């Protein structure tokens, strides 16, 4: 009988998205099962209520409504800047001496700044601010000669709008309640465990087929999460509604540090473009059979992923990855994780370092 009980899972180790989806699906299955919804009403109702609070807090914490506007104006300035670069290059070979001379000056200016439209947003904003200031002042004559004033003005407008929106979003995030999502998650997990205790008790006492079927479905979901999200082996769990600690993770980042020049008082502080070392197990970066790239990823404060380039990986083994820390990320705190496909599956195994690191 015990083999049909719902297994344990370390809910606290799930990322916000996986945590939300797991509870959403569990609630939907429980509420749609007439036997379980009737027998477990006293624990199912508070579980549902706690989840609604998590839903609300997660929507607030995950994304500012300003983010879409930032993306919109960022794409606009990228397109306009790229168009400016292309026009200048086309003018280099014009048979009109004044135009060719002006294009040569502006083309050198482009080379001097080397602005990558795909670079980190704050860095790009600052570079474009200085770049366009030069065009409006130092190179105003050349810009006018090539009739590029309207394009420069559009770059300025879009760049200023991005900067304005980033500042507004920072104010918005600062006003949020610190730890609200974490507390909401804890309340949901506690209510979930109450539900699992009742379901497992019914399986032991009565063996009702509806409860057994529910448990089997739930265990398949738990098995998938342990393998693909938590990177755990999936044998030997206990039916207590929470992870008993018997599972040893197959994939784990145990430590991360600078190879040279580390600050001993701040071991998780990293210089950009310096060599970092990640140690653990099951870390090897393996691309998926479908061609998806395995990677080391930084996650910023708005959950935006920034993958390291292939060229940044200096050593790649199961126990250790050495890589060059991203040089164009802004100063501040980041989460770091490894995404790899060691089992030949289409979904990545995501290995997260539990602490934040700081770029300086």
Tell me how far apart the alpha carbons of residues 184 and 182 are, in angstroms, rounded to a whole number: 5
pTM for this model (two decimals): 0.44
Residue 199 clears pLDDT 70, i.e. is over it = yes
Q: How far apart are the first and last CA of the chain?
A: 56
Q: Exposed/middle/buried for 153, CB within 10 Å: 0-12, 13-18, 19+?
A: middle
HSE-CB at 20 with a 13 A cutoff on CA atoms is: 15
- In degrees, rounded to 5, the angle at the alpha carbon of residue 232 between the alpha carbons of residues 26 and 22 is 15
| Mean of all residue pLDDT scores within the chain | 85
Tell me how far apart the alpha carbons of residues 265 and 23 are, in angstroms, rounded to a whole number: 40
Q: Domain-by-domain residue ranges, the chain?
A: 1-244, 252-359
pLDDT for 217: 92
Whether residue 323 contacts residue 312, with contact meaning beta carbons closer than 8 Å, is answered with yes
| Residue 153 to residues 30, 161, 166, 256, Cα–Cα distance (Å) | 58, 12, 20, 45
pLDDT tens digit sequence for 56-84: 877 655 555 677 788 889 999 999 999 99
pLDDT tens digit sequence for 11-61: 888 877 788 889 999 999 999 999 999 999 999 999 999 999 988 877 655
Residue 242 clears pLDDT 70, i.e. is over it = no
Q: Distance between alpha carbon 328 and the CA centroid of its chain, in Å?
A: 17
- The yes/no answer on whether domain 252-359 falls in CATH 2.70.50.70 is yes
Q: pLDDT class for 119, splitting at 50, 70, 90? A: confident
Across 211-235, average pLDDT: 81
Tell me how far apart the alpha carbons of residues 74 and 70 are, in angstroms, rounded to a whole number: 6
pLDDT tens digit sequence for 166-177: 888 777 666 555
Tell me how far apart the alpha carbons of residues 131 and 112 are, in angstroms, rounded to a whole number: 10
Exposed e or buried b for every residue in 43-52, given b needs 16+ CB within 10 A?
bbeebbebbe
Residue 240 clears pLDDT 70, i.e. is over it = no
pLDDT for 12: 82
Tell me how far apart the alpha carbons of residues 130 and 113 are, in angstroms, rounded to a whole number: 9
pLDDT for 106: 96
pLDDT for 244: 47
Which residue has tokens 């050349």?
Answer: 142
């Amino acid at each position: 009988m015990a083999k049909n009980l719902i297994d344990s899972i370390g809910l606290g180790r799930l990322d916000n998205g996986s945590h939300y989806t797991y509870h959403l699906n569990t609630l939907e299955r429980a509420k749609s099962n007439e036997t379980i919804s009737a027998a477990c009403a006293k624990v199912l109702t508070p579980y549902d209520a706690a989840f609604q609070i998590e839903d609300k807090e997660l929507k607030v914490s995950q994304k500012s409504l300003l983010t879409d506007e930032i993306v919109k104006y960022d794409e606009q300035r990228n397109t306009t800047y790229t168009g400016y670069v292309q026009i200048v290059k086309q003018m280099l070979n014009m048979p009109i001496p004044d135009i060719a001379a002006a294009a040569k000056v502006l083309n050198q200016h482009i080379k001097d700044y080397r602005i990558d439209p795909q670079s980190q947003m704050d860095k790009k904003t600052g570079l474009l601010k200085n770049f366009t200031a030069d065009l409006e002042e130092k190179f105003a004559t050349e810009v006018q000669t090539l009739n590029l004033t309207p394009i420069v003005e559009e770059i300025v407008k879009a760049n200023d709008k991005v900067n304005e929106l980033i500042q507004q979003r920072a104010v918005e995030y600062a006003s949020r309640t610190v730890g609200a999502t974490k507390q909401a998650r804890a309340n949901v997990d506690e209510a979930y465990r109450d539900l699992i205790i009742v379901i497992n008790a019914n399986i032991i006492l009565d063996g009702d087929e509806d409860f057994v079927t529910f448990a089997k479905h739930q265990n398949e979901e738990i098995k998938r999460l342990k393998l693909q999200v938590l990177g755990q082996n999936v044998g030997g769990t206990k039916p207590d509604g929470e992870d008993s600690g018997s599972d040893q993770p197959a994939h784990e980042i145990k430590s991360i540090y600078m190879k040279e020049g580390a600050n001993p008082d701040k071991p998780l502080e990293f210089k950009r473009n310096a060599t970092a070392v990640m140690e653990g197990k099951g870390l090897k970066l393996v691309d998926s059979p479908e061609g998806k790239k395995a990677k080391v990823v930084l996650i910023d404060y708005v959950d935006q992923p920034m993958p390291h380039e292939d060229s940044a990986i200096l050593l790649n083994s199961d126990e250790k990855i050495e890589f060059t820390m991203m040089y164009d990320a802004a100063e501040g705190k980041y989460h770091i994780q490894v995404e790899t496909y060691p089992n030949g599956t289409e979904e990545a195994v995501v290995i997260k370092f539990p602490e934040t690191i700081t770029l300086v």
